[in-house]
Amino acid sequence: MLLKTLVKPYESITTVREDVSLEEALKVLEDSGFRCVPILDETGKIFRGNIYKMHIYRHKSRGGDMSLPVTTLLKNATKFISINDAFFKVFFSIKDLPYIAVLDENNYFYGILTHTRLLDMLSQSWNFNVGSYVLTVVSQGERGDLTNMSKIITKYTSIASCMTLDVQAGELVHRTLFTLPADVDEERCEKIIKALNRKQFRVSEVENLKTE
């Protein structure tokens, strides 16, 4: 399961229980250096939400009572995903958060998926470390375009990775990014580009990973 391999498990996460005070939660946040941490119920199994350092600071600066329970400033109570959720749901759920809570099959707190870990996984899919060139190929989004582009490229080399952009309804053109393997030199890359252009697949950009 892809998601499970990306999640930081409960045992290695700094959390606070719902019965601690704002003062105690602030100390946890300051000691850990995190800007927010999950709030769990007293059993440590149920995710209640997140507590942010900035919200406690704001509360304190306004003369707020620091002995109030941490749930007073609880945020993101509905921001969580299931360990079995599809990747696309995960991707859009985490969009504006530093991390998102992950629940197991019993809806118990399983861990967190951080923004950084998700971006690391996406960057790995580009195969920057084992690639030579990334070709951005523009097509009309017709049926069979991806197959035809791939056939042209694989006459000269294998494909290290492929990512398609602009796939929203109504888009007139699609951009597909092909990462070529590390053994592809400039001469072979030029042959691939010319072959794609001959078939009306315009190569709009070429990124040389060897110079990055």
Domains of the chain with bracketed CATH: 2-121 (3.10.580.10), 127-211 (3.30.70.260)
Q: Extract the tokens encoding 203.
A: 């190569």
Is the pTM above the cut of 0.85?
A: no
- Each residue of 113-134: pLDDT tens digit? 998 888 777 766 665 667 889 9
- Each residue of 14-69: pLDDT tens digit? 999 999 999 999 999 999 999 999 999 999 999 999 999 999 999 999 999 999 99
Please count the other Cβ atoms lying within 10 Å of the Cβ belonging to residue 99: 24
DSSP 135-201: EEEEE---TTHHHHHHHHHHTT---SEEEEE--STT-S-EEEEEEEETT--HHHHHHHHHHHHHTT-
